[in-house]
Structure 1
Amino acid sequence: MPQQHPGRSTASRPARPDASMSLLTNVMDHSLDDGYAEAAARDVAAGRSGLPRTLNAKLWLAAGLVLAALVVTVGAVQARVDAPTVAKEREELIDRVEEGTREADALEERIEELRKSVSARQNEALERHGGDKGALTALLAGATPVEGPGLKLVVDDAKNTQQDGGDGPRNDSGFSDTGRIRDRDMQRVVNGLWGAGAEAVSINGQRLTALSAIRAAGDAILVDNKPLAPPYTVLGVGDGRKLSSAFRDSADGRYLQVLKESYGVRYNISAQDEVRLPAALSLSVRTAEPVKTGSP
C-alpha cells in the first residue's frame, strides 16, 4: 500500500488559466519598475516632492509660468492683428493676377486684329499688283479663301499606338515603330496632293502655302507653328475623282497605304462636291527686283 507524504493532498491542485502567460501577467501586475517604486517610497518618507520648497525657487517657477503665458498671449494677439493684413495682401495679389490676365487677353485680341489687318492689306496688294492674273496669284499664294469641288482625306493614328509594326518605311528614317502619325507622314501626304494637282490644301482648317512648314514638337504636329490634334482632315481643291485616283497611284499614296498595313494607321479618302478653305493667316509677301548688271 503506497505511503502518503505528510502535508500533501492526494488531490491535484487546479492550474491557473493564465499560467502560460506569466510574463504578461507580471507586467500587468507590476506596471511600475521596482526601482522607481522604491525611489518614490523614499521621497515620500523623506517628505520630498517635485515642487520647489524654498521661496526663491517658487518665485522663479512663478516667473517662468508668467513669462510662458505672456509669450503665448502676445503670439495669439499678433496673429490676430496680422490676419487682416495678410488677407488684404492676398486680395491685392489676386487682383494683380486678374488684372495681368485681362491685359494679356486684351493684347492677344489686339494682336489678332492686327494680324487680320495685315492679311487684308497683303491681299489687297496682291490683287492690285497682280494685273489680270491677280485673282490667280492670290489663290495660289493662299491670300484669299477658296471653295469648290475637291477631295477630303482624313488621317488618324492607329487604335493601338504602341503596337509593334515590324519592318516598314519608317525604319530608315529614324521613326519608332508605332501607329502614331508623324510630321514627315503629313509632309508626304500634302506633297502627294500637290503633286496630284490640288490647287489649294488645308489641314484642320489651316491653309497651306508655298512657305508653310510642317514640323514636330514632341508627339504634336505643328503647321506654321500651330499645334494640330488628330484626326487630321486634309482638304484639297480640284477635281475630286481625279485627285483621289492620282493620289492613290502616287508614291505618297502608296506610302500611306503601307503605313496602314504595317502600323494600323487609319485613313479615308473621298471626293467632295464642295470644300471650303480659309485664307492663310500668316501670309508673307515677297517682292523681287531685277539684278543690275554692267556699268550704267
Structure 2
Amino acid sequence: MGATPRPRGPLARIRRRPESDPTPAQARRRLRAITSLRMAPGQVVAAVITALLGIALVAQVRAQDEAGLSQLRESELVALLDDVSGRVDALQREVVELEADRRQLQGQQGDVAAADAARQRLESYAILAGTVPVEGPGITVVVDDPDGVMTQTMLLDAVQELRDAGAEAIQVGNVRVVASSHVGVAGGAAAGTVTLDGAVLVPPFRILAVGEAHTLAGGLAIPGGFLDSLRGAGASAQVVEDEQVLVDAVRPAPDPRWAEPVPATPSS
C-alpha cells in the first residue's frame, strides 16, 4: 500500500491547533482575570511618589559626590592632606618594621630577635593601657573655660579627633585616657561639671597628646569640631605644637576579674 498523499494547495496551510491553545471561552476568562488586576488609584499615586523620591535621592547623592572636596576651604584641605599623608607615612613605617622583624626572626639570631620583639610589644601594650608615662612629639591644648560651657560631647569630640589623627597617648587634666575611659557629668547635667573617669575637670586644664604634632593640631581644627564648638560657646583654647610632650599620668594595671588567657596548644 502506498503512503497517504500529503495535502497540497490550501489544505497544506491548514494546521491542527495545539491542545495547549486556549479555547475562546478560556481566552475570555483569562482576559477578565488580567483586567481585574488593574491597580487602584491610591496604589498608582503611591507608586508614582515612590519613583519620584527615588529619582530625587539619586540626584542628591550625585550632587554631593560632585561637590566633594570643592566645598572645603584651603585650610581644611591642607589639614585633610596632612592627615592622609601622616597615615600613609605611619603605615609605611609599620611595613618596614614588620619586614625587619620577619628577617630577624628567620635569621640565626631568631631567639634573641623574638625576645626583643616580645619586649617591644610589651612596651606598646603598656603605652596603650596607660600604665607607663610616655614622652615624644605632640601638642598641648590649654582650655580656659571660666563659665563652664564645655559639655560631654565637646570633650568626647576632642578625644576622638586626637585618636583619629594618630595620637598614641592622651592626657586630659590629670587623667590618662585609655580605651575604657568614659566621660560623664558630676551632679547631673549642669554645665561646668564634666568628668573624665570620675575626675571633675576644673578649668583651666590641659590636654596633652603624643603623636605627629602638626597632624594632631589639624585634627582638632576641623570645622565644627572641638575647637570650633568650644570657642563658639564662649570658651578659649590654645594649641601649642612641641617636639617633646610628657604624658605622665598613669593608670594601675588592670586586674581582669572574669577573663583568663587560653593556654596555647601546639600546632600539628
TM-score range, shorter chain: 0.3 to 0.5
Normalising by structure 1, we get a TM-score of 0.43
Q: Looking at CA atoms only, which structure, 1 or 2, has the larger radius of gyration?
A: 1
